[in-house]
Amino acid sequence: MSTTIEVDENLLADAMKATGASTEKETVELGLALLIKLRKAREGSQEPKGS
């Protein structure tokens, strides 16, 4: 699937430096994967203790 999005150039450049990603696509995919990981971690921490 191919999608075109407009992204702040400075934000993308900063994200590429922070992640070490070599392409814009890799940077976006890493960011999306991190968002999903954070969401899952948050949902896991909200489970009642003893479950």
* pLDDT tens digits along 4-47: 999 999 999 999 999 999 999 999 999 999 999 999 999 988 76
> What is the gyration radius of the CA atoms in the chain, in angstroms?
15
What per-residue confidence (pLDDT) applies to 51? 56
Q: Model confidence at 50, in pLDDT bands (50, 70, 90)?
A: low
Kindly indicate the confidence band of residue 1, based on its pLDDT and cuts at 50, 70 and 90: confident
As a whole number of angstroms, the distance between CA 21 and CA 1 comes to 21
- Cβ-contact 1, 9 below 8 angstroms: no
| pTM of the predicted protein model | 0.77
pLDDT (0 to 100) of residue 45: 81
